[in-house]
């Protein structure tokens, strides 16, 4: 069985580790994790998931077949320079870094390595990630199958051209946060219209899950499903009118486009806006 080494032990690494371990395809013993300096974080991951943790990068990479890069884009250069002498022909490098191109990874590694650039999201921790991945010419069919299997363990995966990955990042990589933001607003609204917090949360979450299932199971367009809820002169119409007054659709389009642009900026190393 393949061994996986994580470079980076933050939110995205944990979401993937949690999905891998809970999904049962990988035993904790097959997963090794390192980070830059936060030993307490490594111990926490070891305690929670049983994975092995180390600050010894050479040992970690020597025992791994697949290396997952999961540090912030701004830390990629330092991280890649610190491992390049340990990269061997057999390694498959998988990057989940927003914005960072495959060619910049191979350039920093100074190796003609097999690299797969993927964009999952944090729903990986409940094995519901929407992941897109792009591959370089060194990646064999075997590598692609291995990466596909990894990402299928934590949700769905689709293969795309690398140039599409910034768009994917702005849409589904960041996407969970947009939905959480809407839930925050619905919770706030619930309080303001006099509903008790916990009951409101249950109603909101079931509404969200139900709407998602309706989209999946009925195959209907979202606009058609929306019309089915909207009685002429009724409550939904009044609510949607308020959303239109605040230009919610335009705001969401601007939100995704802004995230896509930021993904492009990240590879140029531009500081936060």
Ligand X SMILES: NC(=O)C1=CN([C@@H]2O[C@H](COP(=O)(O)OP(=O)(O)OC[C@H]3O[C@@H](n4cnc5c(N)ncnc54)[C@H](OP(=O)(O)O)[C@@H]3O)[C@@H](O)[C@H]2O)C=CC1
Ligand Y SMILES: O=C(O)[C@@H]1CCC=N1
End-to-end CA gap in the chain: 43
Question: Given candidates 51, 70, 113, 150, which one binds ligand X under the rule CB under 6 A?
Answer: 70
Residue with tokens 């060194």: 138
Q: How many residues make contact with ligand X (CB under 6 A)? A: 29
Question: Given candidates 52, 123, 129, 169, which one binds ligand Y under the rule CB under 6 A?
Answer: 169
Burial label, 196 (beta-carbon count in 10 A; 0-12, 13-18, 19+): exposed
71 assigned ligand-binding residue: yes
136 contributes a contact to ligand Y by CB under 6 A: no
99 assigned ligand-binding residue: no
| CB of 26 closer than 8 Å to CB of 4 | yes
137 assigned ligand-binding residue: no
- How distant, in Å, are the alpha carbons of 7, 82, 108 from that of 79? 8, 5, 10
Question: Given candidates 37, 40, 137, 245, which one binds ligand X under the rule CB under 6 A?
Answer: 37
173 contributes a contact to ligand Y by CB under 6 A: yes
Q: Least Å distance between CB 168 and ligand Y? A: 9
Nearest to 185 by CA among 131, 252, 258, 259: 252
| CB of 84 closer than 8 Å to CB of 58 | no
Contact positions with ligand X (CB under 6 A) in 169-188: 173
234 assigned ligand-binding residue: no
DSSP-derived secondary structure for 102-135: HHHHHHHHTS--EEEEEE--GGGGGT-EEEEEEE
9 assigned ligand-binding residue: yes
12 assigned ligand-binding residue: yes
79 contributes a contact to ligand X by CB under 6 A: yes
Q: Least Å distance between CB 43 and ligand Y? A: 25
Nearest to 7 by CA among 71, 56, 53, 55: 71
- Binding positions for NADP(+): 7-12, 70-73
Positions touching ligand X (CB under 6 A) are: 7-13, 34-38, 41, 70-73, 75, 78-79, 82, 96-98, 119-122, 173
Positions touching ligand Y (CB under 6 A) are: 98, 169, 173-174
């Amino acid at each position: 069985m393949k061994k996986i080494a994580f470079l980076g032990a933050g939110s995205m690494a944990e979401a993937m580790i949690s999905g891998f371990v809970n999904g049962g395809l990988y035993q904790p013993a097959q997963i090794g994790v390192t980070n830059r300096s936060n030993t307490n974080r490594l111990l926490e991951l070891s305690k929670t998931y049983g994975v092995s943790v180390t600050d010894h990068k050479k040992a970690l990479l020597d025992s791994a077949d697949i290396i997952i890069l999961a540090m912030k884009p701004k830390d990629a250069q330092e991280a890649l320079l610190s491992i390049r002498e340990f990269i061997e022909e057999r390694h498959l490098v998988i990057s989940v870094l927003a914005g960072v191109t495959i060619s910049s990874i191979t350039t920093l590694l100074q190796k003609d390595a097999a690299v797969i650039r993927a964009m999952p999201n944090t729903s990986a921790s409940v094995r519901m990630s929407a992941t897109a991945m792009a591959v370089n010419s060194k990646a064999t069919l075997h590598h692609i199958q291995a990466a596909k299997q990894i990402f299928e363990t934590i949700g769905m995966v689709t293969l795309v051209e690398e140039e599409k990955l910034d768009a994917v990042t702005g849409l589904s990589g960041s996407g969970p946060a947009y939905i959480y933001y809407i839930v925050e607003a619905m919770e706030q609204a619930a309080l303001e219209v006099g509903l008790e917090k916990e009951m409101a949360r249950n109603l909101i979450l079931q509404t969200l899950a139900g709407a998602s299932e309706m989209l999946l199971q009925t195959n209907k367009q979202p606009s058609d499903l929306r019309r089915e809820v909207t009685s002429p002169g009724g409550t939904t119409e009044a609510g949607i009118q308020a959303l239109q007054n605040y230009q919610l659709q335009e705001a969401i389009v601007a939100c995704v486009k802004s995230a896509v642009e930021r993904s492009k900026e990240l590879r140029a190393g531009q500081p936060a806006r």
